[in-house]
Amino acid sequence: MFSKVAAVAVLGTLGTSAYAQQPIVIKFSHVVAQDTPKGLAAEFFAKRAGELTKGKVKVEVYANSTLYKDKEEVEALQVGAVQMLAPSLAKFGPLGAKEFEVFDLPYIFDDYKDLHAVTQGKVGQELMAKLEPRGIKGLAFWDNGFKVFSANNPMKKPEDLKGKKFRIQSSKVLEEQMRTLGALPQALAFSEVYQALQTGVVDGQENPYSNIYTQKMHEVQSHITETNHGYLGYAVIVNKKFWDGLPADVRGQLEQAMKEATDYANSIAKKKNDEDKKAIIASGKTQVYVPTAAERLAFKKALVPVHKKMESRIGADIIKQVYDATG
């Protein structure tokens, strides 16, 4: 007689052999639109991971906070509900890696060349190593770009931001940056920014053009000033236990896919931001103002004191290492 127990046993066996043929699934959650430097690079990685592992790995990309918002996604990674993320470097403080906030210091990088001296050098590696005791492995730095301020009033000098409420990412350095300008910082999840701007919960925000354009923030902001005052980019991270538990050959193939995705990300980031700036101007909804050299200097003078103020949080040593690497 075919007993219930036997049925369960048969099913169990079938289940195991079926499982053996199942691809390893990597859930990759992020908060921006697909058509952004990060969104496109995530898709690129998914495609190459599938190809290089010959289907042994299936990367499922969840864009636009569809799976998790900023804070939740980091928790999800730690408990293993997702395997891969690429949060902005401004969002590592809650993970206990305050050193990452060095990237948020205003005017610490003049351009992408300065940035790469850090992300692709010794300092970048040292920063990634700080994540390991927290059960997280850092795989790569992916570029986005330099931030501009948007609001509903013209901003030609630092005083023009005074008294205004500005949405920031959850970074103490960014909080201090806004306070130094006399503005009122408000940390909000990325998915909430458009609505907060639209309803007047905040007056302005800061982001690279690609994020502003793809979230349609320019439709609810009358002015942008191209201060390029700070950098916004990403670290691609995985749950360390998951990563270390992968078969060595598969891990090697994924490392190769990540290397290619990183080259791709860093080759499109500037171009994408330049294109999205043009699209914002063409929309006619926002006035984009490029400060004169003197106006830029005034912003820089106002904001550079933030470096000293945040030294005790970030660590004087890491700040010095970045200064040294960028010349």
Decide whether 192 or 295 has the Cβ nearer to ligand LMR. 192
Cβ proximity of 230 and 146 under 8 Å: yes
211 binds ligand LMR (CB under 6 A): yes
Minimum Å distance from CB 253 to ligand LMR?
A: 26
Decide whether 169 or 253 has the Cβ nearer to ligand LMR. 169
31 binds ligand LMR (CB under 6 A): yes
Minimum Å distance from CB 211 to ligand LMR?
A: 5
Contacts (Cβ under 8 Å, ≥6 apart) of 282: none
Burial of 308 (0-12, 13-18, 19+ CB in 10 A): exposed
Rg (CA), the chain: 22
Helical residues (DSSP H) of the chain, grouped into ranges:
4-21, 37-52, 70-79, 112-119, 122-129, 172-180, 193-198, 209-214, 240-244, 248-283, 293-303, 305-309, 311-314, 316-326
Cβ proximity of 204 and 151 under 8 Å: yes
Cβ proximity of 107 and 308 under 8 Å: no
Candidates 207, 262, 266, 273: give the one binding ligand LMR (CB under 6 A). Answer: 207
Decide whether 88 or 273 has the Cβ nearer to ligand LMR. 88
190 binds ligand LMR (CB under 6 A): yes
Decide whether 52 or 261 has the Cβ nearer to ligand LMR. 261
Q: Which of residues 229-258 bind ligand LMR (CB under 6 A)?
A: 232
Question: Positive or negative, the Cα torsion across 137, 127, 307, 311?
Answer: positive
Candidates 88, 171, 253, 286: give the one binding ligand LMR (CB under 6 A). Answer: 88
Cβ proximity of 254 and 57 under 8 Å: yes
197 binds ligand LMR (CB under 6 A): no
**What character string, x for contact with ligand LMR (CB under 6 A) and - otherwise, covers 36-75?**
----------------------------------------
Q: Which of residues 106-165 bind ligand LMR (CB under 6 A)?
A: 144
32 binds ligand LMR (CB under 6 A): yes
Question: Positive or negative, the Cα torsion across 207, 211, 212, 217?
Answer: negative
326 binds ligand LMR (CB under 6 A): no
212 binds ligand LMR (CB under 6 A): no
Decide whether 147 or 240 has the Cβ nearer to ligand LMR. 147
228 binds ligand LMR (CB under 6 A): no
Return the number of other C-beta atoms located less than 10 Å from residue 315's C-beta: 15
Helical residues (DSSP H) of 54-171, grouped into ranges:
70-79, 112-119, 122-129
Decide whether 101 or 325 has the Cβ nearer to ligand LMR. 101
Q: Which residues bind ligand LMR (CB under 6 A)?
A: 31-32, 88, 144, 169, 190, 207, 211, 232
